[in-house]
Structure 1
Amino acid sequence: MLDIQKIRADFPILSQKVNGKPLVYFDNGATSQKPQVVIDADAKYYQEINANIHRGVHTLSQLATDAYEISRGKVQEHINAKFAHEVLFTSGTTHGINLVTNGFASILKPGDEVIVSSLEHHSNIVPWQMLCEKTGATLKVIPMNEEGELIMEAYDALLSEKTKVVTVNHISNALGIINPIKYMIDKAHAVGAAVLIDGAQAVPHLKPDVQALDCDFYAFSGHKMCGPTGTGILYGKEEWLNKLPPYQGGGEMIKEVTFEKTTYADLPHKFEAGTPNIAGGIVLGTAIDYLNEIGFDNIQKQEEELLAHATKRLLEIEGLKIYGTGKNKASVVSFNIDGIHPYDIGSIIDKLGIAVRTGHHCAQPIMNFFCIPGTIRASFSFYNTKEEINLMVEAVKTAKTMLS
């Protein structure tokens, strides 16, 4: 059993008050809070080893380079990548997805097809739309059902020899639905398609095993898993990363430059042009260490209990509807109350110290499917408690009374 109060003490922000009320932070799907060990590691880098990496022979540069590459190795181990050079540092999930779509611009041709799902965040829709417009490829969409689950029979029917890429999120940011990605990856590979998984919402809750999944690309952000903002990872199979052209040109990603020709560096540096977010990359490794020390089995158990409790308590409120009722879910509850705009609920409960997200959550196609302007989304982390959920429920009841 986790000692939740001890864990909460690791997060300085959780002890503060908002609008005179104890902070109840349920916007973890947008970004997680940071433990003191992560905050300290960021300061330690700038206080002790701040220097540019990979290029200097002086001591600080070597120390910074070692720390950065050690962090890359931690990520490799965490996601079970075969090689450290399959792990690319990015600024976040969006950066990783755009890196891949840029590479496929030289591969796709008119008549090719890219499959996305109805559950995608805009960052896993728009880059593929742009790619299809550029190449003449066609974008196909896997439909969803009323429970918020993807319809696998429809997915199977969409796949063909024309399918070159399938891209889908591991977990929906708007609904919390966990997609059957192993099945989807195997089906895509059967027709020769590459697969990118958007893991932004998955990595705070579970450890993805990229070799077991056999995905070709897996992108995620550091800031959703207790790490710094402006950090992320793109995993790519070695053969795919060697096949794709560089995303950006500049320092670090070159082997030799003349005015006649440039040759590119080996992986992973081929895709890491310029000075990176060195501190962020190092501290992402610290965040991963912290989560592994707590243990993902423990995290999942705690969050499953929070999800069950929140679902039960919220459904006690008359007129409340939960969106995303599929069997396999992460710790996210997306809901509305009949006749009341989600923004109004969110604004009132904020005055009571409750931080939730309202709106379309950068997933407008989902909201269009349900014919709603948006939802109230409460997204939980392992450091949240059932007592906090009870406070949210009472706050929602208060807001409903005020707005009815």
Structure 2
Amino acid sequence: MSRPRLTIGTFGEITTRCRPSRRIEARARYRDWDGVTRLVQASGDTAAAATHALKAKCVDRNLIAPSAGSLTADSPFPDLVEYWLEDIELEDRLATATRQLYERDMRTLVLPVFKDLTLREIGVARCDQFLKRLAKDSSSKAKHARVVLRLALALAVRHEVLLRNPVDHVARLHRDVRIPDAFTSEEITAIRAAITYWEAGRDVSGPKPDGQLGAIVEVMLGTSARIGEVLAIRRSDIDLSVPSVRITGTIVSPKSEPTTRQEHPKSARSRRTIQLPGFAAHAVQRRLKQLDTIDPEALLFCSRGGTPLTTNNVRRQLLHVMGLVSIEGVTPHKFRRTVVTTINESAGVELASQLLGHTDPAITIKHYIRRNETLDPTTAGLLEGAFG
């Protein structure tokens, strides 16, 4: 008579025997996750201890199912990292710059700490302590490390190497609340004057200004677009009859690769058509007259050879010009916050969020709008009427 077939992850009748060493050995048939029934055995000082050890061994095998690939719970963490990076490459859903950022964060922040551990040894407590220690040095580094560690371990969970993702259960990372800052109208006037002074050739150091920096700043002030999006504007994206500009791409500079125009901005919502105020439209018209081509694919802002400008070069140029007049804290992204703060104060957060291309106004409020600390003066009249 044949034995009844075991279901996957279960064991059959347990038998015990005394070995020559006088230790008791417990044995049972166990059906593994690959469907193969194997003999599992464990030993102890007594029959009860041996049986307990055998059950614990079977439970351990039952909890962790071997993956379809080469990874197991006992694989070293670096093996998972390489597998995860390959998986990202195969999915091809992330921008090149994002993939490179993930790899850099993994190799510099996470891998040095976890390189000698197996996947089984990476639990909630270990991840929690790692992120807390890193946060003491830099909350930004801790945030980046949490992202990549969670993504890598999530792949192990999806492939049934681990039962759960320990990063999902770590304590929430706390960071100091940063109040978004924006330029005042007086600061904008000073910045424009500094750029005009520089473009007039008053600074003898460095290459001769080509007039693009001032126009770039005017377009940023007139659209709230990111610096990469502004540098990616083509002739075909401009409609002077309205006038308006369509944001359809961004400039990227992948590591060890040439700077190129990416055919989409940061997100799908970021594709938008923005009507230009007069000062920005004038800057665009002036720049179009300077171009020596009518190619619709030609970039509005480019090098003398027609190649894309890098965002870092524009930042460095802006820093240099502001340094000439001792103005600090001027960055392309601060222009973006300045624009959205102005729109919010005049027309509300919904319109401000649309202008930025955000899917959630809460992001706009948290990261872009400078809080107005002066409350509606109507409260004074109401309180005077009630208690005066």
| Shorter-chain TM-score range | under 0.3
TM-score normalised to structure 2 length: 0.22
**Largest Rg, 1 or 2:** 2
Bigger share in strand: 1
Bigger share in helix: 2
TM-score normalised to structure 1 length: 0.22
Higher relative contact order by CA 8 Å / sep ≥ 6: 1 or 2? Answer: 1
